[in-house]
Amino acid sequence: MPPLSQRWLLAALALAWVVSAFSGRMDAYFLDVAMGAGIAIVLASSLNLINGFTGQFSLGHAGFMAIGAYTSAMITTALGPKLGWSAPLQQWLLFPASLLAGGLLAAIAGFAIGAPSLRLKGDYLAIVTLGFGEIIKVLLQNMDSVGAARGLVGVPSYTNLFWTFGAAAVTVYAVWGLVNSTYGRGFLAVADDEIAAEAMGLNTTRYKITAFMVGSFFAGVAGGLYAHLKGYLNPSGFDFNKSIEIVVMVILGGMGKHVGVIVAAVLLTVVQEPLRQLGDFRMILYSLILIILMITRPQGLFTWKTRKKVEPA
């Protein structure tokens, strides 16, 4: 598949802008679900770069999301009022800057975690990222300056349709462009056969760390969007279950499939609303989906053709 052109990105951004301009006329409930779906696309596409295209298995995506969420929320709540900017200036300048800052900090965390642990394979990496995700949650629960376990309240609601779908478009464009570029073929090579990729002279560790950092960056941006959508943050919202939700989106859509993962992210967010009535049974259903999918359709729901892969003897 050719990389998406810049024209595609501009068109997507323009569309988000136009739709956002009419958002005043839309139902508030519908808007909330739509923005949730946009954030889910950012999360799932970025995790897809790590888990799908590069073939690593991260279970700590919610941790990076938490870093981004808290960073950008702290910038807009603590720094925002001191600047004395007008409201539109805050929403259109300070907010995107805070999203970038959140993403960058998440990427730095991704590097700090990835550099030592990406030398590990499959299941070890999964456990280490799980552990780090939990550690981030515990750290936030003990940090009084961000509200500790009580949570952070009063985050301004700057997130709108333009920002969520703009971020989703940029994420998809970046991931799509990255894996289809000459450089980005290396991600697929690492996923297909790490030893062969290394023998070809690719620096596999560097590819893995790059994927991890880019994925963490967008997870951080998604966290910032989430913070300014809900207006309230609690460390326990970024637990292992949240990571699993994102993993399920990637698996359902098919690991390493662009469109499938986007469809799955939207689908799971929309389906969640009626599923809320199920209460406790929701996570039971999720785990059953995970098991049954892995046994019957490990390539994902929306995938019919798979790349031919030779199993090593």
Partner 1 sequence: MTEFLQQIINGLSLGAIYALIALGYTMVYGVLRFINFAHSDVFMVGAFVGWAAVEKLHIPTGTIGGGLLVLVTAMAVCAALGMLIEKLAYKPLRGRSTLTVLITAIGVSLLIQNVAQNQRIGFGPNPKPFPEVFPVRQIHLGELTLSSNQLIVIAVAAILLGALYWIVHRTRIGTAMRALSFNSTAASLVGINNNAVISFTFALGSALAGAGGVLYAMNYPSIDPLMGTLPGLKAFVAAVLGGIGNLPGAALGGLLIGLIETFVSGTRFSTYRDAIAFAILILILMFRPAGLLGKLKAEKV
User: Does residue number 310 form part of the binding site for partner 1 (CB under 8 A)?
Assistant: no
User: Does residue number 128 form part of the binding site for partner 1 (CB under 8 A)?
Assistant: yes
User: Does residue number 306 form part of the binding site for partner 1 (CB under 8 A)?
Assistant: no
Single residue of 108, 120, 148, 275 touching partner 1 by CB under 8 A: 120
Residue 175 near residue 45 (C-beta atoms within 8 A): yes
Which residues in the 183-212 window bind partner 1 by CB under 8 A? Answer: 195-196, 199
Cα(22)–Cα(36) distance, integer angstroms: 18
Residue 218 near residue 132 (C-beta atoms within 8 A): no
Which residues in the 275-304 window bind partner 1 by CB under 8 A? Answer: 280-281, 283-284, 286-288, 290-291, 294-295, 298
Q: Which SS3 state, helix, strand or coil, does residue 153 take?
A: strand
Rounded to a whole number of angstroms, the minimum distance from the CB of residue 118 to partner 1 is: 11
Single residue of 11, 21, 30, 119 touching partner 1 by CB under 8 A: 119
User: Does residue number 31 form part of the binding site for partner 1 (CB under 8 A)?
Assistant: no
> Which span sits near partner 1 by CB under 8 A: 23-31, 70-78, 122-130, 164-172?
122-130
User: Does residue number 123 form part of the binding site for partner 1 (CB under 8 A)?
Assistant: yes
> Which span sits near partner 1 by CB under 8 A: 40-48, 85-93, 120-128, 172-180?
120-128
CA atoms within 13 A on the CB side of 69: 33
What's the N-to-C CA distance of the chain in angstroms?
30
Residue 129 near residue 58 (C-beta atoms within 8 A): yes
Rounded to a whole number of angstroms, the minimum distance from the CB of residue 171 to partner 1 is: 23
Rounded to a whole number of angstroms, the minimum distance from the CB of residue 220 to partner 1 is: 22
Q: How many residues bind partner 1 (CB under 8 A)?
A: 39
Rg (the chain; Cα; Å): 19
Residue 238 near residue 67 (C-beta atoms within 8 A): no
Closer residue to partner 1 in complex, CB, 23/272? 272
From residue 145 to residue 174, the character string flagging contacts with partner 1 as x (rule: CB under 8 A) and all else as - is ------------------------------
Cα(227)–Cα(152) distance, integer angstroms: 9
* Secondary structure (H, E, C), 222-254: HHHHHHHHHCEECHHHHCHHHHHHHHHHHHHHC
CA distances from 113 to 61, 104, 194, 207, 213 (A): 12, 14, 20, 15, 10
Rounded to a whole number of angstroms, the minimum distance from the CB of residue 47 to partner 1 is: 13
User: Does residue number 131 form part of the binding site for partner 1 (CB under 8 A)?
Assistant: yes
CA distances from 274 to 31, 32, 46, 279 (A): 16, 14, 26, 10
User: Does residue number 247 form part of the binding site for partner 1 (CB under 8 A)?
Assistant: yes
**Which pair of structure tokens corresponds to residue 120?**
């590990």
Closest CA to 247 of 50, 38, 102, 108: 50
From residue 10 to residue 29, the character string flagging contacts with partner 1 as x (rule: CB under 8 A) and all else as - is --------------------
Which residues in the 37-76 window bind partner 1 by CB under 8 A? Answer: 55, 57, 59
Q: Which SS3 state, helix, strand or coil, does residue 258 take?
A: helix
Footprint of partner 1 on this chain (CB under 8 A)? Answer: 55, 57, 59, 116-117, 119-120, 122-124, 126-128, 130-132, 135, 138, 142, 195-196, 199, 241, 244, 247, 251, 280-281, 283-284, 286-288, 290-291, 294-295, 298, 311
